[in-house]
Amino acid sequence: MNYETLIYEKRGKVAKITLNRPERLNALNSTLIAEIPQAISEAAKDNEVRVVVITGAGRAFCAGADFRYADVRAGTVSPEVAEEPRAAAAGQGSDQGNLLYPFIGEAILGLQRMGKPTIAMVNGAAAGGGFELALACDMRFGSEKSRFRMVFTTIGITPGAGGVWTLPRVVGLSQACKIIFSGDFVESDEAHRIGLLDALIPSERLEADTMAFAQRLSDGPPIAIRLDKAMIYKGLETDLETSLLFQSACQNISLHSQDHVEGTKAFAEKRKPAFRGI
């Protein structure tokens, strides 16, 4: 599929999705909002893809909604129509909620429901909806250039793409409150300290190290990893007894897979297993 505002590429069994509006810090305009869910869906449906990496072109991961601050300062547009997705929605005779639904319903939920590991490679600033996109991934790898901001309260609105659900589960309740209420930047060292970044890597090695980790995950057993992810996220919403029952069912499925046979045989033969997802 051809995309206008992102780059979709496959490197072996890893799909890399690069938000590609570097001149606007990969801010979310109406086209990118539509294309991100399409790319995530493409990766989810491709049986050759086992891991997904999302990043941004240039010096930012994603600056959130595309807001024309310069035009507001110049007085050429009002703050009410300065946000590109909002203006596009109005032009379509729709509301912003309808325009954002595919991003929220198909991108944010799609990343969690996808039975494949997802990694946000945060190469620069991740703000607003960009921050929420990174949070929707299973893991976040970054560098000294990474910084995060829940900008919403500074402009008098609330987060709308899952951040109030994902952030407390990543960094804890009080840290999430501090980040969301204040709207302050979280710099890379602090992000790593509180668990917002799972790996802090020098910027010159960020892509190579992230992709190497993704490639290693892509060689793992797809059935077991898919079940692992389901158990992890379902476990956030269930009690221990229910989780144990679900774990038992999942383990029984994996025990009867050919990947388990191959994994056991490879372990005994002291070689790398060749998992096929069967």
The pLDDT tens digits along the chain (278 residues) read 799 999 999 999 999 999 999 999 999 998 999 999 999 999 999 999 999 999 999 999 999 888 765 555 555 555 555 555 555 544 454 555 555 667 777 899 999 999 999 999 999 999 999 999 999 999 999 999 999 999 988 888 888 899 999 999 999 999 999 999 999 999 999 999 999 999 999 999 999 999 999 999 999 999 999 999 999 999 998 999 999 999 999 999 999 999 999 999 999 999 999 999 89
Architecture, CATH, for domain 6-218: Alpha-Beta Complex (3.90)
Are the CB atoms for 226 and 116 separated by under 8 Å? yes
Return the residue matching tokens 């979709």: 8
Query: Residue 74's pLDDT is what?
Result: 56
Domain boundaries, the chain: 6-218, 222-269
Q: Please, what is the Cα angle at 138 between 133 and 141, to 5 degrees?
A: 80
Query: Residue 89's pLDDT is what?
Result: 47
Instruction: Pick the closest to residue 135 from 84, 64, 66 (CA basis).
Output: 64
Query: Residue 3's pLDDT is what?
Result: 95
Fold of 222-269: Lyase 2-enoyl-coa Hydratase; Chain  A, domain 2 (1.10.12)
Backbone angles phi, psi at 97, to 5 degrees: -60, -40
Query: Residue 10's pLDDT is what?
Result: 96
**Whole-number Å distance between alpha carbons of 22 and 27:** 8
Query: Residue 76's pLDDT is what?
Result: 55
The structure's pTM equals 0.88
